[in-house]
Amino acid sequence: MSKLQEKIELYTNEAEKLGLGLNAELLAAVTKGLGPSIYKEDAEKVSSSDKKELETVKKNFLIKKLGLEDGENLDKAIETAIEKIGKSNRNKYRALFYTILVEELGMQSVYDAKPAEEKVTEAPKEEVKEEVLAPKVEEKAKKEVDAPTAKTKVKKEAKEEAKVEEEIKEDAPVAEAVNPEEFLENFDWHKYEEGIEAVDEENIKAFEAALEGTLGLVNEREVIEGLVVRKTDREVIIDINSKSEGVISLNEFRYNPGLKVGDIVEVLVDKREDSTGQLVLSHKKARVIKAWERVNNAHETGEVVNGFVKCRTRGGMIVDVFGIEAFLPGSQIDVKPIRDYDQYVEKTMEFKVVKINH
């Protein structure tokens, strides 16, 4: 299954979940018309709360693409599309949004134009065939005196046709390997994100194949390093050189308030792709896995480690070692009996791992 087919399937499933009842063929045609914008995170969705973006949709898609005149009917169609998908879904898939607009405005014929064009191009073939046959009938009726001239003319025409065919072959485009960086740099995203023009699916396939070769292969449940490329008040965006970037809740970095863009962090690949094609990462799980590796190693080698005494508990203390809570028996704190356990709370001390309960 190609990436385009995966996207169409994703949008179809999403439409079914929302109970939109969209025409599958029309949805597929609209998706193809959007071109590479469906592979671009910032362009794949429309924000229904952004009036400026909705104005762009009306101007570039409804007026320029579909050829409609500005008016209240366009605004009503946009409002209807927002209500159908649901106002709670502020960021809506552009393919679903546009398909609803096309149905609301009765513009399905725009996406049915392709088959009609193919029929028109086939018609001249029959006319050419008749023109070629006509001279043959006339040649039979001619006298033998004109035969040499007719043969010469036919040979001359055949040579000219062969010459034209050679020129066409020379001018035919040759498929070349696509460089993903050049493709993205030279591509007019503004046009395609609004569905103003269609894009050659072969170019998309070539781009996808080239992109596959530049990406690192990662396995699920693998702990790897990732680069912090963006940070919001709720989320941290991590790049691991995969098809998409991973989104991790900022809560997983509460221990590190100084986290910033450009930092390298360890993450666990939970899923390479979820139901929406999104990469799922976890920093918390990666820390736990790495912490247990360090604890096990310290137990095997007898290494002295630092731990933070968090609080008192029955019979001893709770100590944080590499982010894992460990039990420190009261008898192991000192060689002499301890009367005041509170004096050790919130202190960093040195410890040895003597036992691990699996």
Same domain, 252 and 338: no
Q: What is the mean pLDDT of residues 289-318?
A: 90
At 158-173, the pLDDT tens digits run: 556 555 555 555 555 4
Same domain, 276 and 162: no
Burial grade of 30 (CB within 10 A; 0-12, 13-18, 19 or more):
buried
Q: Phi/psi at 66 (nearest 5 deg)?
A: -85, -10
Residue 181 sits in a domain of what CATH number? Answer: 1.10.238.120
Output DSSP code: residue 43. T
In a domain, 294, yes or no: no
Structural domain contains residue 295 = no
Alpha-carbon gap, residue 262 to 227, rounded angstroms: 6
Please report, for the domain that includes residue 264, its CATH number. 2.40.50.140
126 and 256, same structural domain?
Answer: no
| Domain-embedded: residue 218 | no
Q: Which among 241, 258, 286 is the end of a domain?
A: 286
State which amino acid sits at residue 73: N
- Domain holding 63, by residue range, is 1-134+177-213
Q: Give yes or no: residues 197 and 230 share one domain.
A: no
Q: Is position 106 within any domain?
A: yes
Please indicate whether residue 273 or residue 104 has the higher confidence score (pLDDT).
Answer: 104
Contact 232, 256 (CB under 8 A): no
Query: Does residue 109 share a domain with residue 186?
Result: yes
Q: Does residue 198 share a domain with residue 84?
A: yes
Residue 130 has pLDDT above 50, yes or no: no
* Average pLDDT value for residue range 288-305: 90
CA atoms within 13 Å, Cβ hemisphere of 251: 2
The whole-angstrom separation of Cα 212 and Cα 98 is: 29
Question: Are residues 118 and 189 both part of a single domain?
Answer: yes
Domain harbouring 333, CATH code? 2.40.50
Residue 62 and residue 197 in one domain: yes
Q: Do 55 and 114 share a domain, yes or no?
A: yes
Asked if residue 292 belongs to a domain, the reply is no
**Domain contains 296:** no
Neighbours of 3 (CB within 10 A): 17
DSSP 63: I
Q: Which of 210, 212, 203 is nearest to 173 (CA)?
A: 203
What's the whole-number average pLDDT of the chain?
75
Question: Which of the residue ranges 66-70, 109-113, 151-155 would you say has the lowest mean pLDDT?
Answer: 151-155
Specify the number of domains making up the chain.
4
Residue 345, in any domain of the structure: yes
Instruction: Please list, residue by residue across 73-102, b when 16 or more beta carbons sit within 10 angstroms of its beta carbon and e when fewer do.
Output: ebeebbeebbebbeeeeeebbbbbbbbbbb
pLDDT of residue 28: 86
User: How do residues 240-295 score in pLDDT, each as one tens digit?
Assistant: 887 778 899 999 998 888 999 999 999 999 887 777 778 889 999 998 898 888 88
Q: Do both 1 and 57 map to the same domain?
A: yes
What is the DSSP secondary-structure string of 276-333? TS--EEEHHHHHHHHHHHHHHHHHHHT-EEEEEEEEEETTEEEEEETTEEEEEEGGGT
H helix intervals, the chain: 3-18, 24-34, 51-56, 72-85, 94-104, 113-141, 147-171, 180-186, 189-193, 201-214, 283-301
* Boundary (domain end) residue, out of 258, 286, 314: 286
- In angstroms, the CA 215 to CA 323 distance is 32
Nearest to 276 by CA among 4, 1, 5, 6: 6
Looking at the predicted structure, is the pLDDT value of residue 221 above 70? Answer: yes
Say what the pTM is.
0.38
CA separation (Å) from 274 to 2, 11, 164? 17, 14, 53
| Residues 125 and 165 occupy one common structural domain | no
If asked whether residues 12 and 33 sit together in one domain, one would say yes
Query: Considering the domain boundaries, does residue 329 fall inside one?
Result: yes
Write the CB contacts of 66 (distance below 8 Å, at least 6 apart in sequence).
Answer: 102, 105, 107, 110
Please give the pLDDT value at position 13. Answer: 85
